[in-house]
Amino acid sequence: MTTFLSREVRDGLEAARVAGLKKASRLRVQAGDEIRPVLGLRKDGFSVAAEDAGLLRGLVDLYDGANHLYQCLIVASELEAGEMRFEFKRLTHAHDAAPLDFFRDPAMPVAYLPR
């Protein structure tokens, strides 16, 4: 039995693997007006399909569906197996409300209740 695969077959298998990762992932990265699907997320970075990567760098936003997860400062790391890997230089959690500039006492009543 031989384990040799022609270059065309290997390229086809790799393209099918990347297409499957694109469909399965809800993650996406947004840089300006451009949105690209994220193939994989790690604690130190993420990967995007090589043909989608383009000139992606700098400050980007990372989303899971419609939920804004992180604001990231990224740099391109390496190209491997049809995926462009990016590393985080800064990773900040996105919040849905502005931070308070005063101390909120947890024991303080939330609303006025009449008798």
Unique residue bearing structure tokens 């989608």: 52
Measure the CA–CA gap between 2 and 15, rounded to whole angstroms.
Answer: 23
- 64 in a structural domain: yes
**Tens digits of pLDDT across the chain (115 residues):** 567 778 887 777 777 777 776 666 788 999 888 888 898 888 899 998 888 777 888 899 999 888 889 999 999 888 887 888 999 999 988 887 777 788 888 888 778 778 7
Q: Could you tell me if residue 73 is inside a domain?
A: yes
Tell me, yes or no, whether 19 lies in a domain: no
Residue 80, in any domain of the structure: yes
Look at residue 110 and tell me if it is in a domain.
Answer: no
Stated as kind and residue range, the H or E segment containing 91 is strand 83-93
| Neighbour-count burial of 80, counting CB atoms closer than 10 A to its CB (0-12 exposed, 13-18 middle, 19+ buried) | exposed
Q: Which domain holds residue 33?
A: 26-93
0.75 exceeded by the pTM? no
Q: Residue 42: which CATH number? A: 2.40.10.430
